[in-house]
Amino acid sequence: MLLQVEALAYGYGDRIVGSGVSFDVAAGEVLCLLGPNGGGKTTLFKTMLGLLPARAGRIRLDGSDLGRLSRTEIARAMAAVSQAHAAYFPFTVREMVVMGRASRLGPFAAPGRADMAAAERALATLGIGHLAGAVYTEISGGERQLALIARALSGEPRFLIMDEPTASLDFGNQARVLGQIRRLARAGIAVLFSTHDPGHALLCADRVIALHDGRLAACGPAAETVTPALLRQIYGVDVVVAPVPGIAAPICAPVID
Amino acid sequence: MSREPAVAAGAARTQRSLRVSAALLAGAALLMLSVLALAVGRYPVPLADLANVLGHRLFGLPGRVPAPVETVVMQVRLPRVVAALVVGAALSAAGATYQGLFRNPLVSPDILGVSAGAGLGAVLGIYLGLPVAPIQALAFLGGLGAVAAVYGVGLAVRRHDPVLTLVLAGVAVGAVLGAGISLLKVMADPYNQLPAITFWLLGSLSSVTLGDVGAVLPMMLLGLAPLVLLRWRMNLMSLGDEEARALGVETRILRPVLIAGATLVTAAAVSMTGVIGWIGLIVPHIARLLVGPDYRRLLPASLILGAGYLLTVDLIARTAGTIEVPLGILTALVGAPFFLWLLAAGRGRVG
């Protein structure tokens, strides 16, 4: 098993946001994390990445306790894709993407030819090779999100954690990012992503984890787990989940007055 | 498809040769500027005499120039030129480093209180009537002590964002040190000590000796070493603590190492010349406009530009008027309008 989360409690400082969370991730598997705003999705991700200490329980990466691994060891296996942000300095997309190689380089080393090639490959995988020379702060939000995914991929991780990768993207870019997640899984990379759209879970996740009130509300295969009852429980609204002819995954829409 | 990597490799080669020639050009310009600075002044030295003095003193060639000329070149101008190059380069590299660490292009090497600490140390030395060397030592220790205090507060507070905590601690500690400086100014003898204090706080290269430069140079090199060696990692540090850690950078080790390096460099520079403002803020900006934000190029560019900038400003300081204008005044007078122009003209590229 690539990653095991066992009876994990997580939070900031004195505040415990969630506890008793257990699940695991296998190679090439896509997991989708659902939960309401402020439900602790980002905090859980940060704890899984080792950026915040586990408050109880443990996380195992390839069987080893995450707390005992160095940042470099963790980053080689797991890469994070944060929400597209504005950088402070006008790096080019190529400079930004090659930073994903940091975990593969010694502290005094600068990226060499092989690292630049890995960055170019990652850009090509995402179909944004033409943006390599563009300035990261001047491209669109969707392009930035793709560049951040490319940065994560350039380090050749086995597990990608993506915090709301489709937030703030237009309809087309959302579909492109979801398609990309499926392609990564086919290449053997495990992906855990969070979203506010349960439809995305049905579209591209193998399994779904749902957080509610700091607890794991559900964990199971997407089609069986994303039910009106679960969505009612975590979001507090009535939802229709219905199959549509011609579409593989059922669609999911809220009922509004 | 198969041709693309070859094209990319070719482009990379062209870029690299372009970079090498740019570096050579910058080095040559710096050398010419240094020669000019040695020759120009209240007592002009012809280039032939200058060459003779340097050849005589540096390579043991026969000297034929009158002793006063040699004194002007070797005792007066050479220390100033060397100090200007070294201090300008040092402050600019420290500024570039701090700007990246604090993800803020408006940060100068003073951000963690090094100048305020060095200022208090030097002012205390002047107030106590100490000779030059102990004043410099007090300034150096004051600079290091101030940053150590700020860093200690940052560690003790342990809020979520360690970088923001450091900045706020720097503001607070700086205010206390500034109050101490003001207090000593009030208590100081207004005829002898107060002018000395004022001049020290405005910075000057006029009384620098080669011995001073020799004393601070090892500390500067020691401080510069981590900045230069870790300069690619600085790119990652400039993304912020969390992102850098997620990418595999041990920021808890790297940040203190980089802060220690930049602080050592700044304290060494300031202890020799007094507080010279603005240069550490503005030179990294110019460098960023010229070579982009990648520290692999930004740091060397800052070093070279900073050396040239301070040399030029010092040249203006000692030739422009009948009295020598303190450097701190000139760097601000030259720097601030230029900075405003950059803000207006440079658009997003500035940061």
In angstroms and rounded to an integer, the radius of gyration of the C-alpha atoms of chain A is 18
CB contact under 8 A, B243 and A82: yes
Confidence class of residue B324 from pLDDT cuts 50, 70 and 90? confident
Confidence class of residue B1 from pLDDT cuts 50, 70 and 90? very low
The answer to whether A59 contacts chain B (CB < 8 Å) is no
Query: Which residue does chain A place closest to B250, by CA atoms?
Result: A71
Question: What DSSP letter does each residue of B29-88 carry, written as one string?
Answer: HHHHHHHHHHH-SSS---HHHHHHHHHHHHH-PPP-S-HHHHHIIIIIIHHHHHHHHHHH
Q: Is the pLDDT confidence value at A124 over 60?
A: yes
What pLDDT, on the 0 to 100 scale, is given for residue B10? 62
Query: Cβ contacts (< 8 Å) between B349 and chain A: which residues?
Result: 90, 135
Tens-digit pLDDT profile for residues A209-244: 999 999 999 999 999 999 999 999 999 999 999 988
Tens-digit pLDDT profile for residues B77-86: 999 999 999 9
d(CA B90, CA B98): 12
Size of interface A-B (CB pairs under 8 A): 87
Give mean pLDDT, residues B291-320.
93
Tens-digit pLDDT profile for residues B242-287: 999 999 999 999 999 999 999 999 999 999 998 888 899 889 988 9
Å between A225 CA and nearest CA of chain B = 30
Q: Is the pLDDT confidence value at B5 over 70?
A: no
3-state secondary structure of A236: coil
Question: Who among A87, A111, A120 is closest to B239 (CB)?
Answer: A87
Query: Cβ contacts (< 8 Å) between A153 and chain B: which residues?
Result: none
Residue at A171: amino acid letter: F
Tens-digit pLDDT profile for residues B167-200: 889 999 999 999 999 999 999 999 989 999 998 8
Q: Is the pLDDT confidence value at B350 over 60?
A: no
What pLDDT, on the 0 to 100 scale, is given for residue B7? 55
CB contact under 8 A, B233 and A90: no
ipTM metric: 0.93
Query: Which residue does chain B place closest to A71, by CA atoms?
Result: B248
Fold of B77-108+203-350: ABC transporter involved in vitamin B12 uptake, BtuC (1.10.3470)
Query: Cβ contacts (< 8 Å) between A107 and chain B: which residues?
Result: 230, 233, 254
CB contact under 8 A, B246 and A72: no
Tens-digit pLDDT profile for residues B108-129: 888 888 999 999 999 999 999 9
Which of A25-34, A93-102, A130-139, B314-323 bottoms out in mean pLDDT, i.e. has the lowest?
B314-323
Tens-digit pLDDT profile for residues B328-348: 888 888 878 877 887 777 654
Q: How crowded is residue A175: how many other Cβ atoms within 10 Å of its Cβ?
A: 15
d(CA A244, CA A252): 10
The structural domains of chain B, with segments of one domain joined by +, span: 77-108+203-350
Question: Who among B103, B247, B349 is closest to A99 (CB)?
Answer: B247
Query: Cβ contacts (< 8 Å) between B288 and chain A: which residues?
Result: 89-90
Confidence class of residue B351 from pLDDT cuts 50, 70 and 90? very low
Tens-digit pLDDT profile for residues A157-182: 999 999 999 987 889 889 989 999 99
CB contact under 8 A, A107 and B103: no
**Choice between B244 and A88, residue whose per-residue pLDDT is larger:** B244
Å between B100 CA and nearest CA of chain A = 8
Query: What would the two tokens of residue B222 be?
Result: 């020691």
Contact B126, B181 (CB under 8 A): no
CB contact under 8 A, B248 and A71: yes
pTM (predicted TM-score): 0.90
Contact A66, A227 (CB under 8 A): no
What pLDDT, on the 0 to 100 scale, is given for residue B160? 65
Q: What share of chain B is helix, strand, coil (3-state, %, to 5)?
A: 80, 0, 20
What pLDDT, on the 0 to 100 scale, is given for residue B159? 67
Q: How crowded is residue A80: how many other Cβ atoms within 10 Å of its Cβ?
A: 25
Question: Who among B229, B242, B348 is closest to A90 (CB)?
Answer: B348
CB contact under 8 A, B246 and A102: no
Query: Which residue does chain A place closest to B284, by CA atoms?
Result: A89
What pLDDT, on the 0 to 100 scale, is given for residue B309? 93
Give the residue numbers in B contacting A (CB under 8 Å), as ranges.
5, 8, 12, 100, 103-105, 160, 229-233, 235-236, 238-239, 242-243, 245-250, 254, 288, 292-294, 296, 348-349, 351
Query: Cβ contacts (< 8 Å) between A120 and chain B: which residues?
Result: 5, 8
Query: Cβ contacts (< 8 Å) between A138 and chain B: which residues?
Result: 348
Nearest residue to A108 via CA among B99, B97, B227 = B227
Of the CA atoms within 13 Å of residue B255, those in its CB half-sphere come to 22
| CATH superfamily, region A3-84+158-254 | P-loop containing nucleotide triphosphate hydrolases (3.40.50.300)
Q: Is the pLDDT confidence value at B30 over 50?
A: yes
Report the residue of B235, B257, B302 to disrupt the A interface, i.e. the one with the largest count of A CBs within 10 Å. B235
Interface of A with B in 193-252 (CB under 8 A): none
